[in-house]
A and B are shown apart, each in its own frame.
Chain A
Amino acid sequence: AQRVTQPEKLLSVFKGAPVELKCNYSYSGSPELFWYVQYSRQRLQLLLRHISRESIKGFTADLNKGETSFHLKKPFAQEEDSAMYYCALRPYSGGGADGLTFGKGTHLIIQP
Protein backbone atom coordinates (compact mmCIF):
# COMPACT_ATOMS: atom_id res chain seq x y z
CA ALA A 1 0.00 0.00 0.00
CA GLN A 2 1.11 3.53 -0.64
CA ARG A 3 1.94 6.08 2.03
CA VAL A 4 2.57 9.84 2.09
CA THR A 5 4.53 11.46 4.89
CA GLN A 6 4.64 15.15 5.72
CA PRO A 7 7.02 15.39 8.66
CA GLU A 8 6.11 18.92 9.73
CA LYS A 9 2.68 19.55 11.25
CA LEU A 10 3.45 23.25 11.55
CA LEU A 11 5.89 25.49 9.72
CA SER A 12 6.29 29.16 10.56
CA VAL A 13 8.43 31.51 8.48
CA PHE A 14 8.74 35.25 8.03
CA LYS A 15 7.41 37.06 5.00
CA GLY A 16 10.03 37.16 2.27
CA ALA A 17 11.87 34.08 3.54
CA PRO A 18 12.12 30.89 1.49
CA VAL A 19 9.65 28.09 2.20
CA GLU A 20 10.05 24.35 1.79
CA LEU A 21 7.29 21.94 2.75
CA LYS A 22 8.52 18.39 2.80
CA CYS A 23 6.73 15.38 1.37
CA ASN A 24 8.00 11.83 1.09
CA TYR A 25 6.11 8.90 -0.34
CA SER A 26 6.32 5.15 -0.54
CA TYR A 27 4.84 3.32 -3.48
CA SER A 28 6.22 0.47 -5.52
CA GLY A 29 4.84 1.60 -8.88
CA SER A 30 4.66 4.88 -10.80
CA PRO A 31 2.78 7.46 -8.76
CA GLU A 32 1.27 10.76 -9.67
CA LEU A 33 1.97 13.41 -7.02
CA PHE A 34 -0.05 16.47 -6.11
CA TRP A 35 -0.04 19.37 -3.70
CA TYR A 36 -3.43 20.52 -2.43
CA VAL A 37 -4.01 23.69 -0.40
CA GLN A 38 -6.79 24.72 1.95
CA TYR A 39 -6.99 28.40 2.85
CA SER A 40 -8.93 29.46 5.92
CA ARG A 41 -12.68 28.81 5.45
CA GLN A 42 -12.19 27.66 1.87
CA ARG A 43 -12.38 24.34 0.10
CA LEU A 44 -9.49 22.06 -0.53
CA GLN A 45 -8.10 22.88 -3.96
CA LEU A 46 -5.38 21.65 -6.24
CA LEU A 47 -2.22 23.73 -6.14
CA LEU A 48 -0.02 21.79 -8.53
CA ARG A 49 0.81 18.33 -9.85
CA HIS A 50 4.15 16.89 -10.77
CA ILE A 51 3.22 15.99 -14.31
CA SER A 52 2.52 19.64 -15.18
CA ARG A 53 5.96 20.85 -14.09
CA GLU A 54 4.56 24.34 -13.67
CA SER A 55 4.85 27.12 -11.11
CA ILE A 56 1.62 28.15 -9.40
CA LYS A 57 1.55 31.24 -7.15
CA GLY A 58 5.33 31.07 -7.12
CA PHE A 59 5.36 27.47 -5.80
CA THR A 60 7.22 24.66 -7.51
CA ALA A 61 7.67 20.99 -6.68
CA ASP A 62 9.96 18.46 -8.30
CA LEU A 63 9.42 14.74 -8.13
CA ASN A 64 12.62 13.03 -7.00
CA LYS A 65 12.13 9.31 -7.58
CA GLY A 66 15.50 8.44 -6.08
CA GLU A 67 14.63 10.07 -2.78
CA THR A 68 10.89 9.39 -3.18
CA SER A 69 10.20 13.03 -2.39
CA PHE A 70 8.00 15.80 -3.73
CA HIS A 71 8.90 18.85 -1.68
CA LEU A 72 7.03 22.11 -2.24
CA LYS A 73 9.16 25.25 -2.49
CA LYS A 74 8.74 28.97 -2.82
CA PRO A 75 11.67 31.40 -2.78
CA PHE A 76 9.89 34.32 -1.12
CA ALA A 77 6.92 33.63 1.14
CA GLN A 78 3.92 35.98 1.19
CA GLU A 79 1.36 36.40 3.94
CA GLU A 80 -1.40 35.08 1.69
CA ASP A 81 0.44 31.76 1.50
CA SER A 82 -0.66 30.96 5.05
CA ALA A 83 -2.79 27.82 4.73
CA MET A 84 -2.90 24.08 5.23
CA TYR A 85 -0.93 22.17 2.60
CA TYR A 86 -1.47 18.51 1.75
CA CYS A 87 0.72 16.30 -0.36
CA ALA A 88 -1.19 13.54 -2.16
CA LEU A 89 -0.41 10.50 -4.26
CA ARG A 90 -2.41 8.64 -6.88
CA PRO A 91 -1.23 5.28 -8.11
CA TYR A 92 -0.95 5.45 -11.86
CA SER A 93 -3.29 2.79 -13.13
CA GLY A 94 -4.02 4.24 -16.55
CA GLY A 95 -7.68 4.76 -15.70
CA GLY A 96 -7.24 8.32 -14.57
CA ALA A 97 -9.59 8.18 -11.60
CA ASP A 98 -8.41 6.62 -8.38
CA GLY A 99 -8.69 7.73 -4.81
CA LEU A 100 -5.90 9.91 -3.50
CA THR A 101 -3.69 9.04 -0.56
CA PHE A 102 -3.00 12.17 1.44
CA GLY A 103 -0.35 13.13 3.93
CA LYS A 104 -1.52 14.55 7.24
CA GLY A 105 -0.82 18.10 6.14
CA THR A 106 1.46 20.96 7.09
CA HIS A 107 0.06 24.16 8.53
CA LEU A 108 2.09 26.98 7.02
CA ILE A 109 2.07 30.30 8.84
CA ILE A 110 3.72 33.32 7.27
CA GLN A 111 4.57 35.94 9.82
CA PRO A 112 4.66 39.62 8.80
Chain B
Amino acid sequence: GAGVSQSPSNKVTEKGKDVELRCDPISGHTALYWYRQSLGQGLEFLIYFQGNSAPDKSGLPSDRFSAERTGGSVSTLTIQRTQQEDSAVYLCASSTPGTGYSYEQYFGPGTRLTVT
Protein backbone atom coordinates (compact mmCIF):
# COMPACT_ATOMS: atom_id res chain seq x y z
CA GLY B 1 0.00 0.00 0.00
CA ALA B 2 0.93 3.67 -0.11
CA GLY B 3 3.46 4.85 2.39
CA VAL B 4 3.77 8.18 4.17
CA SER B 5 3.88 11.05 1.70
CA GLN B 6 5.14 14.59 2.20
CA SER B 7 4.90 17.74 0.15
CA PRO B 8 6.61 19.66 -1.17
CA SER B 9 9.73 17.57 -1.59
CA ASN B 10 11.83 20.74 -1.76
CA LYS B 11 11.09 24.26 -0.62
CA VAL B 12 13.26 27.33 -0.96
CA THR B 13 12.07 30.42 0.87
CA GLU B 14 13.37 33.79 1.84
CA LYS B 15 14.23 34.61 5.42
CA GLY B 16 11.20 36.02 7.21
CA LYS B 17 8.58 34.24 5.12
CA ASP B 18 6.16 31.63 6.47
CA VAL B 19 6.16 28.06 5.14
CA GLU B 20 3.77 25.12 5.43
CA LEU B 21 4.89 21.53 5.15
CA ARG B 22 2.36 18.75 4.63
CA CYS B 23 2.31 15.13 5.70
CA ASP B 24 -0.10 12.39 4.62
CA PRO B 25 0.26 9.41 6.95
CA ILE B 26 -0.47 5.80 6.14
CA SER B 27 -4.22 5.23 6.17
CA GLY B 28 -5.41 4.05 9.56
CA HIS B 29 -2.31 5.18 11.44
CA THR B 30 -3.44 7.14 14.45
CA ALA B 31 -0.05 8.44 15.58
CA LEU B 32 1.92 10.99 13.57
CA TYR B 33 5.35 12.46 14.26
CA TRP B 34 7.49 15.29 12.94
CA TYR B 35 11.27 15.25 13.06
CA ARG B 36 13.96 17.61 11.80
CA GLN B 37 17.25 16.49 10.31
CA SER B 38 19.83 19.26 10.31
CA LEU B 39 23.37 19.08 8.99
CA GLY B 40 25.52 17.74 11.79
CA GLN B 41 22.61 17.52 14.24
CA GLY B 42 21.07 14.22 13.37
CA LEU B 43 17.35 13.66 13.79
CA GLU B 44 15.47 15.76 16.35
CA PHE B 45 11.96 14.97 17.52
CA LEU B 46 9.61 17.94 17.12
CA ILE B 47 6.03 16.92 17.89
CA TYR B 48 3.75 13.91 18.07
CA PHE B 49 0.00 13.61 17.43
CA GLN B 50 -2.36 10.97 18.69
CA GLY B 51 -5.44 11.47 16.58
CA ASN B 52 -5.88 15.22 16.32
CA SER B 53 -4.35 16.09 19.66
CA ALA B 54 -0.70 16.70 20.37
CA PRO B 55 0.21 15.29 23.78
CA ASP B 56 3.90 16.01 23.24
CA LYS B 57 5.07 19.31 21.78
CA SER B 58 8.30 19.28 23.73
CA GLY B 59 10.57 19.25 20.71
CA LEU B 60 9.29 22.35 18.95
CA PRO B 61 12.34 24.65 18.93
CA SER B 62 10.50 27.96 19.24
CA ASP B 63 7.04 29.53 19.14
CA ARG B 64 7.56 30.16 15.42
CA PHE B 65 6.87 26.46 14.93
CA SER B 66 3.36 25.05 15.10
CA ALA B 67 1.58 21.99 13.79
CA GLU B 68 -1.94 20.78 13.42
CA ARG B 69 -3.69 17.64 12.36
CA THR B 70 -7.22 17.46 11.08
CA GLY B 71 -9.54 14.50 10.70
CA GLY B 72 -6.97 12.26 12.29
CA SER B 73 -5.11 12.21 9.00
CA VAL B 74 -3.19 15.00 7.24
CA SER B 75 -0.84 17.14 9.29
CA THR B 76 0.68 20.53 8.54
CA LEU B 77 3.85 21.88 10.11
CA THR B 78 4.04 25.66 9.89
CA ILE B 79 7.15 27.72 10.41
CA GLN B 80 6.59 31.45 10.74
CA ARG B 81 9.18 34.13 10.02
CA THR B 82 11.69 31.55 8.83
CA GLN B 83 15.33 31.90 9.80
CA GLN B 84 18.40 30.43 8.12
CA GLU B 85 18.85 28.00 11.01
CA ASP B 86 15.49 26.47 10.07
CA SER B 87 17.09 25.00 6.94
CA ALA B 88 16.85 21.24 7.30
CA VAL B 89 15.06 18.15 6.09
CA TYR B 90 11.71 17.79 7.85
CA LEU B 91 10.59 14.19 8.21
CA CYS B 92 7.16 12.90 9.03
CA ALA B 93 6.39 9.42 10.35
CA SER B 94 3.25 7.56 11.30
CA SER B 95 2.45 4.48 13.33
CA THR B 96 -0.36 2.46 14.82
CA PRO B 97 0.53 2.40 18.46
CA GLY B 98 -0.31 -0.73 20.30
CA THR B 99 0.16 -1.26 23.97
CA GLY B 100 3.56 -1.54 25.46
CA TYR B 101 6.17 -2.54 22.94
CA SER B 102 4.13 -3.05 19.78
CA TYR B 103 5.25 -0.06 17.77
CA GLU B 104 6.99 0.88 14.50
CA GLN B 105 7.28 4.28 12.87
CA TYR B 106 7.10 4.51 9.07
CA PHE B 107 8.89 7.50 7.62
CA GLY B 108 8.10 9.71 4.67
CA PRO B 109 10.66 10.94 2.13
CA GLY B 110 11.04 14.31 3.82
CA THR B 111 10.79 17.95 2.78
CA ARG B 112 14.09 19.73 2.24
CA LEU B 113 13.67 23.33 3.40
CA THR B 114 16.24 25.94 2.42
CA VAL B 115 15.98 29.43 3.87
CA THR B 116 17.98 32.01 1.94
Q: In angstroms, how far is the closest chain B Cβ from the Cβ of A107?
A: 12
Number of residue pairs spanning A and B whose beta carbons lie under 8 angstroms apart: 69
User: Cα distance A98–B48 when bound, in Å?
Assistant: 7
Q: How far is the CA of A86 from the CA of B41 in the complex (A)?
A: 12
Whether B42 pairs with A95 at a CB distance below 8 angstroms is no
Q: How far is the CA of A92 from the CA of B44 in the complex (A)?
A: 18
Which of B41, B56, B104 interacts with A98 by CB under 8 Å? B56
0/1 interface trace, chain A 45-83, chain B, CB 8 Å (1 if under): 110010100000000000000000000000000000000
Q: How far is the CA of A90 from the CA of B43 in the complex (A)?
A: 14
Which size class do B's interface residues fall under? Answer: 20 to 34
A46 to B45, CA, bound (A): 16
Interface range on chain A (Cβ under 8 Å from partner): 20 to 34
Residue in A32, A92, A99, A103 whose beta carbon sits within 8 Å of that of B42 in the complex: A103
Distance (Å) between the CB of A76 and the closest chain B CB? 27
Top 10 A-B pairs, shortest CB-CB distance: A97-B97, A104-B42, A99-B45, A96-B97, A102-B43, A97-B31, A44-B107, A51-B101, A96-B103, A99-B48
Q: Which residues of B contact A (CB under 8 A)?
A: 3, 30-31, 33, 35, 40-48, 50, 56, 58-59, 91, 95, 97-110
Spell out A's residues near B (CB within 8 Å): 32, 43-46, 49, 51, 86, 88, 90, 92, 94-105
